[in-house]
Amino acid sequence: MIPPEKTPAAPPPDGRLSGVYGQQRPARNRRRAAWLALISARRAGAVSCLAALLVLSGCATNPATGERQITPIMSAAQEAQAGADAHPKILEAYGGAYDDVELGAYVAGVTARIARATNQPDGPYRVTLLDSPVINAFALPGGYVYVTRGLMALANDEAELAGVIGHEIGHVAARHSAQRQTAMMGTSLLGAVLGAVVGSSAVDQIVGLGGQGLLASYSRDQEYEADMLGVRYLAKAGYDPYAAGDFLQSMGAEEELNAQVRKAEYDPARNDWLASHPASPARVAAANGHARETGLSPAQRDRNRGTYLSAIDGMLYGDNPDEGVVRDRVFIHPKLRFRFEAPPNFTITNSASAVVVQGPDKTIVKFDTASKAAGLEIGRYLVNDWGKGVRLSAPENFTVNGMKAATARAKIGAYNGRLVAIEFAPDRVYRFLMGTMPAAATRHDAALHELVMSFRKISAAEAKAVKPLRIRIVTVRSGDSAASLGRRMVFSDFQAMRFRVLNGLGANEEPKPGTRVKIVTD
């Protein structure tokens, strides 16, 4: 989580770039390496799009798939502008570009190799490696493609990374981003209606958190189509096309691990097409089916595992300490000098703008910070500033580890909500916005109270003791096992499972002596 004073980075300049585009990381006085690989690709003609928002469309042939489809409502120029407008906001939300020149160059090189395998060699693709622990990759209109270092930590070879990039380029080549932009326009209209009804930023925050899965970034058909194109690009570029299915398998294993950590139900057979990148067995099978269609056998081609592992050796893992870090169930911010602890069976996810705590029964908490007038009493701030426009219960004043605080209840969409504001300094507040489902409202009251009361300031010594975590590449020795290598990592639970998921090993698979593997250390 970052202070609100952080400002968006400037958009990239127009024109073609041949190497590196350097820019300032938001709210930092140091130069960041914002890697943007611009690769030629012929602009896609008319392809499918949602017929929505009272806009008339025509028909044409999709140059990526060869299928006859409805044309999108956005022109190529509009797509490019939409991507350029969104780019600095993406950097802001995902912590900026990862500051590693060599790794950025490596990702750019893999992207160029994949792009040469497409059938659109004349239009630009801009690929950015994001400084985020979240496992994600996505594309924006106009050819903006993003890969997080969290995803690179999960991938096990160059071919798997290339498969992810090929998938995202497939979205761009098929102009799925234009369709998503159209869908997002509908979502914005819905958000405007909700805002008119509830009239509160506090409410919007909970509603937004709870509604993230209501509209997928892409439809199920679009995801499968991008998978198909990504596999084609892999094979044409000289990679093992089965790498795409292998990475999807790793994503599924990661989902199962996260479910076990928070003691949530995990259904590997669910039809989870509303997720942004569902990793269901059906999707893995489909990707492997496309790989077989290439006529190649698994492992027929080198996947450049050694090169890839060498490239990510020493890469930052998990949170950047500048943005606060998660250690098991503890969130600690060494720069802003505070910490809090989530209750058992709750998990913490950090981002550049907020921290989200999730628990059983769809319980969700958003933690962030805001400025406050120095002379404004904390209860009045909660009612008149943060909760303005919301029907709140009478605020209650209390203290949290010597700091003044106030809380009030509110009905927030389908949630029973609670707002908690803590005065950290005369002009600074930290806030917990909590949502529980009515059926489980009182069940988690004690746990959420424990969460709030764990918030405290930390000493300079505590802040200095926070060290970044990194990916380290080690060679498996005789006698090593998933259990023993898991114990060498920083995690206190699910050690063997975490090691296997990180290295793409099956549930009972053991690492082979002499091979190189990933571990996480400080």
Residue 22's pLDDT is what?
Answer: 25
Its pTM stands at: 0.74
pLDDT in tens, 227-249: 999 999 999 999 999 999 999 99
> What does the alpha-carbon distance between residue 422 and residue 431 come to, in Å, rounded to a whole number?
6
Q: What is the mean pLDDT of residues 79-91?
A: 84
> What does the alpha-carbon distance between residue 375 and residue 426 come to, in Å, rounded to a whole number?
7
pLDDT in tens, 415-432: 899 999 999 999 999 999
In this structure, of 65-74, 361-370, 408-417, the range with the lowest mean pLDDT score is: 65-74
Class of domain 321-461: alpha beta
pLDDT tier at 179 (50, 70, 90 boundaries)?
low
Q: What is the mean pLDDT of residues 407-411?
A: 93
Q: What is the mean pLDDT of residues 250-278?
A: 67
Residue 462's pLDDT is what?
Answer: 95
Of 12, 2, 150, 13, nearest to 87 by C-alpha is: 12
Q: Same CATH fold, 469-521 and 321-461?
A: no
Residues 6+ apart with CB under 8 A from 185: 52, 53
Higher pLDDT, 346 or 72: 346
**Could you write out the three-class secondary structure of 113-156?**
HHHCCCCCCCCCEEEEEECCCCCCEEEECCCEEEEEHHHHHHCC
Residue 235's pLDDT is what?
Answer: 96
Q: At what angle do helices 101-115 and 158-173 cross, to 10 degrees?
A: 60
Domain residues of the chain, as ranges? 21-316, 321-461, 469-521
- Please give the mean pLDDT across all residues of the chain: 78
Cβ–Cβ < 8 Å for 374, 423: no
In this structure, of 188-197, 215-224, 417-426, the range with the lowest mean pLDDT score is: 188-197
Class of domain 469-521: alpha beta
pLDDT tier at 224 (50, 70, 90 boundaries)?
confident
pLDDT in tens, 86-139: 888 888 888 899 999 999 999 999 998 998 998 776 667 888 999 988 888 887
Residue 180's pLDDT is what?
Answer: 55
